[in-house]
Structure 1
């Protein structure tokens, strides 16, 4: 076999580099605004965000989505261009210059403008210049929503947050795994799953075996859209010590609240050889703080824009997340606090009901706005895989992380290690047969594991002044709504 280096050396290369003095360079709006390029001949492409006519010059702003800022284009001799309007797409060639009124700002003196796609606002374009729109309104136009400044900022922040998650996990030695979207498991055991089956009746008939139900024809078993990648992460963590999933998950809940989606993204780390819930809490706190801190640096301009756009100046809740240690209380201690303050709550606290959103947010507020870990939960409130507390089989080593603005952000636990206990719980849920493999994990070379899941969209809601979770995901799905 030939060495790669020799193969590489045998490939002929042709050089296409040439002088910038003869050709215009294509640059993004972000590059135009953030790099001093006075005197350089450039080409920019984007969408017109505003048009102004002054004396003999036409001024218009161009954005290509690469930056919260817009590049001002100056076109002398306005009679040379017709049809330019808000929303149209353009290609502009010209010379970069410094704005004579503000020498810190760049502008483009155009000598050529091509209108790539005209936009007639009067014929149904849903947005107008210099006008603010509510989330409810823009949600009606999911295909156009990325053209708004607010949603473009959100998408850039979402991208930066995704990168921050992967960078942090990689720095801690975690391996990313792609858990399946189609699965035979209902990880939470709550029945909030979407069934998966072929749409073609002809295909179902063709594949149907004698005595097999229709909804099992394709896979020979029932199949669902995943509610969590955790069980698959547990498999891999027994061969690779530290893993995480980051992908779409689905819940068939009949809820249209500001905090619920039918499809959302989850980050789910799973760590082997973990025998202490405190280790999970420590990692969870460090993880959340690191991502927030990173985003304030890498996406600070967009975050500031969103707060300014919502007329909100206070980011005190982010300081509380970064600057103070998270509080830890048991489930019983949390309810003692709620009971003593029940006169301040709309819903009286009852231990058997768990924590509702109002109570979660009250606990955070009661702690001065600092996040709160609630640990050691009643077993009947939590999924089958959580480990019983030593000395109290009615409780499990579980944790919910409560944060400002959204309440529960993360849920995690130590996983039950005893195969007989797992088998008994699955038997009660009528899941012993389909999850026999999960029992086997405990029977052959088992190790203790633990982990948590964090809703990515809820994290963004916590970080940003965006009230509705449907406005932090590109194409939201919720009951009675699956547009596009």
Structure 2
């Protein structure tokens, strides 16, 4: 209390002393910048942010102000006589004063405020976030317009930002060209898959009358489900290309693993004829981006590992320090058939892996991510390279399975042999629609391949978040498009 009283007297002198007429204006800083200061020099500083807590102790007012730049808030100390009338939890403020060394062990610095201005008051009675209360993620999901103000979602958004930058850095450092592939497309990007549901794009008719031409682009158009085919175009001129953007699925699914709008990281490599090369890029991408996020966002990641998914830190460490397991689809089926576990869906060669199968395989391998490659020919889209391998007819496709989530990445070598590609499209009745794709194989084609990684599933994997709706700012799913 002696120290606190001294601080209060000092602040009183500061607040009552007139500023020199020609004094330089206080410089605006982010909270994170000020928290990193080791030796404060009592310079005038200014911060903008939102009040996370406010309390009075005798003649001293304590605030914690956060501007989203850090999980930790900046403590503000001042004379209680400076407290504005509308100051409360949740209000936005501008605080000006001197950055000083804090007498408390838990913080290095604090802001000795000379002025506090409430920019926007907050109605604490109706504000969905409550003081000193840690709301569950499913509760916050009900309030997409304010949930970014919570510790968990603000931490998630900083992690997303750093992971995004790390992904771009990984590809740039490895010589990839970044391509903006279109969101509106005239093909379904997954090889005319009959099971894939897409969003159709058409203009709204204000008058309610039928239009002469029902197609705005003269052809049916859809929201993209993948940028892969456009990246394949690019690998006719660039040896490596990637894209990172929103993709869409019109699946009527309410599971914890699916969204109607999500982000995909996709890469394509020319002059590649071995599936192992694609697998290596997947593994390197996962490990390097995760290492970067852990080093740049230790507090934010720690919040999830402590309060949302205890034990996830150890699981993630296992994933990073061990090489990923590689097995063929046929080997995976043998493991599943000999398992003592009773599956809801009986594993049979020729059928797709269900999520329960994926989880069992990862668990069987010690919770280490697993590459499963060479899937049955009839399970995969037309563009995947035919292995021409006899009775067990397979294609050079690979999925990366990770703990709890299941499939994180999917990729393949692409079919670069014109005759085989044409035959398969003819059988599907899609030769005319994909004539441009056939022409790519006639104009200096190369063996090539690539993969896609779901960004939200990646975040679920490293943070241990159960529901995919909690790792994206504004989740879109059936019967929910808020904001």
Q: Same fold (TM over 0.5)?
A: yes
Greater displacement, 348-357 / 456-465: 348-357
Counterpart residue number, 1:337: 335
Deviations 1:305-343 (A, max 9, x none): 222232614412212221111111010100111111142
From 193, 196, 201, the counterpart of 1:196? 201
Give distance in 1, aligned partners of 2:241 and 2:148: 33
Specify the SS of the correspondent of 1:72: strand
The TM-score, its normalising length taken from structure 1, stands at: 0.91
Matches within 5 A, 1:223-372: 223-310=221-308, 312-372=310-370
Counterpart residue number, 1:454: 453
Matches within 5 A, 1:52-63: 52-63=55-66
From 68, 73, 86, the counterpart of 1:70? 73
1:157 aligns with 2:162: no
Greater displacement, 341-350 / 89-98: 341-350
The TM-score, its normalising length taken from structure 2, stands at: 0.91
Specify the SS of the correspondent of 2:200: coil
1:45 aligns with 2:48: yes
Give distance in 2, aligned partners of 1:440 and 1:204: 40
1:105 aligns with 2:108: yes
Deviations 1:64-83 (A, max 9, x none): 00011100111213364322
Deviations 1:407-426 (A, max 9, x none): 11100000001222222322
Give distance in 1, aligned partners of 2:57 and 2:452: 55
CA contact 1:186–1:227 (8 Å) conserved in 2: yes
CA contact 1:33–1:106 (8 Å) conserved in 2: yes
RMSD: 1.8
Counterpart residue number, 2:11: none
Give distance in 2, aligned partners of 1:454 and 1:428: 29
Give distance in 1, aligned partners of 2:309 and 2:220: 49
1:404 aligns with 2:403: yes
Deviations 1:98-143 (A, max 9, x none): 2212275211111100000000111x21111111222222111111
Deviations 1:437-467 (A, max 9, x none): 0011112211111000000110011010211
Give distance in 2, aligned partners of 1:255 and 1:350: 25
Give distance in 2, aligned partners of 1:430 and 1:439: 14
Deviations 1:240-291 (A, max 9, x none): 1100011110011111111100111111110001111111111211111111
Give distance in 2, aligned partners of 1:342 and 1:442: 47
Give distance in 1, aligned partners of 2:365 and 2:325: 8
Query: Structure 1, unaligned stretches of length 5 or more?
Result: 1-19
CA contact 1:476–1:482 (8 Å) conserved in 2: yes
Greater displacement, 78-87 / 240-249: 78-87
Query: Structure 2, unaligned stretches of length 5 or more?
Result: 1-21
Give distance in 2, aligned partners of 1:246 and 1:384: 23
